[in-house]
Structure 1
């Protein structure tokens, strides 16, 4: 593995940590009735995403793992989008609040998720260029 790949993988790990810390703060404010529903699904998908990042870094043949990573990333993106559409970013400590923070919360977490998506896509494209996407 080249130093560039190690750096890119370290950057992906760092971006994930930044995303999961922020995501957990927001999920803790979701409505109480969602604590064991959508909030838990989103959290579990995010953790699965990290497991797949680790798996992809360790596998010699990466195609299946990277494809699963890409799919899981898209699941997370869509789950966060659903939570936004349901208004769950408007909640604080489980209670609905009418404030301007909801769009900021949604935009800050989707920015991180999108950055991770670009990094995953770049990883896939690099392996395709090298002929190692198998």
Structure 2
């Protein structure tokens, strides 16, 4: 299992859970929930990739979800639900997660 990637995603989810608590009440059950649900799907895809004989399919699904997540994260910043420094910190972690995922995808060609 790619434990480093899984641990980074787990840690990021804990951070995401904290910062989305400050979202406006009207968005806690919409955008905040979508962000958290999508990131949990990313974590599930990593676990599926590890357990499956068809790793590449699950990794590519994970990569697509990560791109969707980036868009929602940027939207959260543009709507000013995330502070700029929170967005920059989160984006840095997502870039790191993306690099680890990309490396795993390349190793499974």
User: What CA deviation, in whole Å up to 9, does each residue of 1:85-129 have, x standing for no partner?
Assistant: 11101xxxxxxxxxxxx111111111111111111100011112x
1:126 and 2:107 are equivalent in the alignment: yes
User: Partner of 2:49 in structure 1?
Assistant: 56
Show structure 1 runs of 4+ deviating over 4 A.
Answer: none
How large is the Cα RMSD of the aligned pairs?
A: 0.9
Distance 1:19 1:111 in 2: 11
TM-score by length of structure 1 reads: 0.78
How far is the alpha carbon of 1:43 from its aligned partner? Answer: 0.6
Distance 1:55 1:39 in 2: 24
1:112 and 2:106 are equivalent in the alignment: no
Distance 2:88 2:9 in 1: 16
Structure 2 matches for 1:35-54, cutoff 5 A? Answer: 35-54=28-47
How far is the alpha carbon of 1:63 from its aligned partner? Answer: 2.2
Q: Which has the higher helix share?
A: 2
How far is the alpha carbon of 1:14 from its aligned partner? Answer: 1.1
Q: Which of 51, 63, 84 is equivalent to 2:77?
A: 84
How far is the alpha carbon of 1:18 from its aligned partner? Answer: 1.5
> How many residues in Structure 1 have an aligned counterpart in Structure 2?
109
Tell me, what secondary structure is at the counterpart of 1:88? coil
Distance 1:34 1:121 in 2: 31
Structure 2 matches for 1:7-26, cutoff 5 A? Answer: 9-26=2-19
TM-score by length of structure 2 reads: 0.95
